[in-house]
Structure 1
Amino acid sequence: MSEPGPESIPTSADPRSKRPVKRRAVTPHSEHATQIESLFRDPTKEIKLPDPSKQRTSSSLPPPPEIVANVQGSSAGAGSGEFHVYKASRRREYERLRLMQSEVDKEAEDKEWEKKREEARRKDEEKTEKNRKRREKRNAKKGKKNAANGDKMVVDEVGKKEVGPSVHQDGEKEVGDAPVEATEVTGVIIHED
């Protein structure tokens, strides 16, 4: 039996030792910190990033063999090596089928999304057209009111001259376009529809 003392302490844990302490458990955080420290040691060193992985499709996988000369199964009696060959070929085939199914599902989702987008666009156009017709109808109505009220005096944009037929003291209208000075009215103008 060993006696308790400095000899029983591991060398890396001994405070007198100059060796770095061994790190037993590496956490993702500490591993990342170590990688960053190594990058900062030599800033001139070129950093090579891995290429982005490409999306796997059924066409990117090798096609299944055309002719299978030696059909194998997972039944008893096959050799121990044959089982792993069978499992690998089955895994490849299932992966190929899964990718083909995911492509079909994605196409169906894309068609459905395109259909919904087209429907929403059509509804927006219908609503816009309806509002446009309503607006034109309202503006046409206003235009008729302004044309019907042609007897009233109209003040031009400057607000100082009166344009239109003027009325004499005896109630007769003057046909000429003689501008008459008008007083500018201050206050709030309310237009009723």
Structure 2
Amino acid sequence: MSRNTVNLVQEDSGQSEEKIVAKTPVEVQRMKLAKLMSNPSKIVPIPERPKEKTMAAPADFVRNVMGSSAGAGSGEFHVYRRIRRRECTREKLMQEKSEKELKDEEFQRQIEEKKKALEEKTAKKRQKRLKKKQKAKDPKKQKVDTQEKSEENKSDESDENEED
């Protein structure tokens, strides 16, 4: 069965099967979803994340391997090649792991920088909003204060006039 073909069982007849060929990936997805939703009580297998590759322990010291040099037996070269391949794989994994760690550290550093910049920007805008809000409140206070002062001045003037 190809990827774009889905078998469906017709419920009215119960025996006949109809093959529907999906022409687009959207139709394939729609048919798969319909098949899953036809029996919601059925458990759907969810694949696990792939495990990280682990490094093999470093090879023990091998004393008798001649490698590809003259005088080596026919089996020695294969032993040498296997040990060399394992060591190369181990070194490659170590290098990939260190590169991944460096990338992760760089990514975390960038995230921290962006958070810090965002917090500074937010704090600056907050101060601006509070300042604007305070200015909006102050004219009302100033008007009230000015009226009170003008009333006090008038009362002071009237007191002075009475004393004269």
**Bin for the TM-score computed over the shorter chain:** 0.5 to 0.7
Q: Give the drift of 1:120.
A: 0.1
Percentage of pairs with the same residue: 43
- Distance (whole Å) between structure 1 residues aligned to residue 100 and residue 62 of structure 2: 31
**Mapping of 1:42-191 within 5 angstroms?**
54-58=51-55, 61-65=56-60, 67-150=61-144
How far apart are 1:146 and its partner, in Å?
1.2
Give the deviation of 1:69 after TM superposition.
2.5
How far off is 1:75 after superposition? 1.7
Larger radius of gyration: 1
Q: Deviations over 1:140-186 (max 9, x none)?
A: 111111112339xxxxxxxxxxxxxxxxxxxxxxxxxxxxxxxxxxx
Output the amino acid matched with 2:70. Answer: A
1: CA distance, partners of 2:144 / 2:135? 15
TM-score w.r.t. structure 2 length?
0.56
Note closer, same or farther for the CA distance 1:144–1:53 as it changes in structure 2 (3 Å cut): closer
Which letter does structure 2 place at the counterpart of 1:110? D
Q: CA deviation at 1:68?
A: 2.2
Unaligned runs of 5+ in 1: 1-28, 37-47, 152-193
What letter corresponds to residue 51 of structure 2 in structure 1?
Answer: K
Report the residue type matching 2:101 in the other structure: E
Q: May I ask how many residue pairs the two structures share in their alignment?
A: 108
Runs of 4+ with deviation above 4 angstroms: 48-53
Specify whether residues 79 and 53 from structure 1 end up closer, same or farther in structure 2 by C-alpha distance, changes over 3 A only.
Answer: farther
Structure 2: how far apart are the matches of 1:49 and 1:89?
38
Which structure carries more relative contact order (alpha carbon 8 Å, separation 6+)?
2
Two-structure CA RMSD over aligned residues (Å): 3.1
Residues 124/80 of structure 1: CA separation in 2 closer, same or farther (3 Å cut) = same
Distance 1:52 1:127, change over 3 A: closer
State the TM-score, normalizing by the size of structure 1.
0.48
CA deviation after TM superposition for structure 1 residue 70, in Å:
1.5
Can you give the 5+ residue segments of structure 2 that lack an aligned partner in the other structure?
8-44, 146-164
Aligned counterparts of 1:68 and 1:138: Cα–Cα separation in 2: 78
